[in-house]
Amino acid sequence: MPNINIGLSDEQLQGVIELLNRNLADFYLLLIKTKKYHWDVIGPQFRTLHELWEEQYEALTINIDETAERVRTLGGYPVGTAEGFLQLSSINEHPKDLPSANEMVARLVQDHEQIIRNLRKNIDQCADDYHDQGTADFLTGLMEQHEEMAWMLRSFLEGEKLTPSGERPGAETKPKVSV
Ligand SMILES: [Fe+2]
């Protein structure tokens, strides 16, 4: 550990570096998966999904770089091998599989939600256990981005269930609308 005197102990720095690397692995696997679906998707929504996933993997690419550079900022080294990413990631891959467009969207929603749950826990750990408000703030920004990406994908699936009158079958109450 290099001599970094920013009010965090070596143990605190190590703890933060480790959780940053786990998130880095998840972001990388999600990047690969988003890109693969961008290539593979077919059907009437091809253009919408192809373009949405391009936007999302570009955002993920930026976040991956910033996460890796935050690891360096704290004196650690980011994971940078495919093997390392696979070992640390909590995202499942589905090799030799060509799902429908809706199934692709549903899988990505699950992955974003998994990442959001991890980040929410890690933000508390950073602030409470490791006394690192900087990383807590950094991860909060990333969590908000994943929440927005998950919403865009979730909305796509919810739209599939709409009846021609615009109501959602099975919904007990209509969504609240401000007037
Ligand atoms: Fe492309």
* Domains of the chain by residue range: 10-160
pLDDT of residue 58: 98
Tell me how far the alpha carbon of residue 60 lies from the centroid of ligand 1, in angstroms. Answer: 14
Tell me how far the alpha carbon of residue 133 lies from the centroid of ligand 1, in angstroms. Answer: 37
Average pLDDT, the chain: 91
pTM of the model: 0.88
Q: Which residue has the higher pLDDT, 11 or 158?
A: 11
pLDDT surpassing 60 at residue 9: yes
Name residues whose C-beta falls within 8 Å of residue 2's C-beta, 6 or more positions apart in sequence: 75
pLDDT of residue 1: 66
Tell me how far the alpha carbon of residue 23 lies from the centroid of ligand 1, in angstroms. Answer: 24
pLDDT of residue 158: 82
Tell me how far the alpha carbon of residue 9 lies from the centroid of ligand 1, in angstroms. Answer: 44
Tokens of 2: 């290099």
Average pLDDT over residues 163-167: 51
CA separation for the pair 74, 4 (Å, rounded) = 8
Instruction: Name the percent of the chain in helix, strand, coil, to the closest 5.
Output: 70, 0, 30
pLDDT of residue 167: 52
Residues of the chain above pLDDT 90, percent: 83
Tell me how far the alpha carbon of residue 137 lies from the centroid of ligand 1, in angstroms. Answer: 31
pLDDT of residue 10: 96
Tell me how far the alpha carbon of residue 65 lies from the centroid of ligand 1, in angstroms. Answer: 19
Tell me how far the alpha carbon of residue 125 lies from the centroid of ligand 1, in angstroms. Answer: 37
User: Sign of dihedral through CA atoms 11, 12, 16, 17?
Assistant: negative
Confidence of residue 160 (pLDDT cuts 50, 70, 90): low
pLDDT surpassing 60 at residue 121: yes
CB atoms within 10 A of CB 41: 21
Superfamily per CATH, domain 10-160: Ferritin, core subunit, four-helix bundle (1.20.1260.10)
CA separation for the pair 167, 174 (Å, rounded) = 8
pLDDT of residue 171: 46
Tell me how far the alpha carbon of residue 55 lies from the centroid of ligand 1, in angstroms. Answer: 10
Name residues whose C-beta falls within 8 Å of residue 121's C-beta, 6 or more positions apart in sequence: none
Tell me how far the alpha carbon of residue 38 lies from the centroid of ligand 1, in angstroms. Answer: 7
